[in-house]
Amino acid sequence: MKILFDQGTPVPLRILLPGYSIVTAYERGWQTLENGDLIAIAESDGFEAIITTDQNLKYQQNLTGRNISIVVLSSTSWPQIRKNVEAIRKALDRLRPSSFVEVKII
């Protein structure tokens, strides 16, 4: 699965998600794109999912008819995210096109 990390998603998470092809928005030069533009360009570039910490994205974007999905992490805290890697993996495994999945980081 080809995954894009949005700004704010801790880059070290990539190491804990082997088996996925992960690139950051920054690495693509997309760090200044607005959410709608980022979703559109990521989808057109073959990304299947975006992992973000943007809690409002779910309310700002409609993914109906899109092939890309969004995983929203409920925290930006790397120590907390690291403790919840298994929940993130499970969310990625059950993703369907045009879905939003929130992973509660506790």
pLDDT over 90 at 32, yes or no: yes
Cα–Cα dist 51/58, whole Å: 12
Total number of residues shown for the chain = 106
Tell me 94's DSSP state.
Answer: T
pLDDT over 90 at 61, yes or no: no
pLDDT over 90 at 56, yes or no: no
Torsions phi, psi for 16 (to 5 deg)? -90, 5
Q: What are the structural domain ranges in the chain?
A: 2-103
Half-sphere exposure for 14 (CA within 13 Å, toward CB): 15
pLDDT over 90 at 57, yes or no: no
pTM here is 0.94
What is the arithmetic mean of pLDDT over 48-73?
A: 92
pLDDT over 90 at 17, yes or no: yes
pLDDT over 90 at 58, yes or no: no
Q: Which residues of 70-99 are buried (b: 16+ CB within 10 A; e: fewer)?
A: bbbbebeeeeebeebeeebbebbeebeeee
Residues 66, 35: contact at Cβ < 8 Å? no
Cα–Cα nearest to 91, from 6, 1, 8? 1
Residue 39's pLDDT band (cuts 50, 70, 90): very high
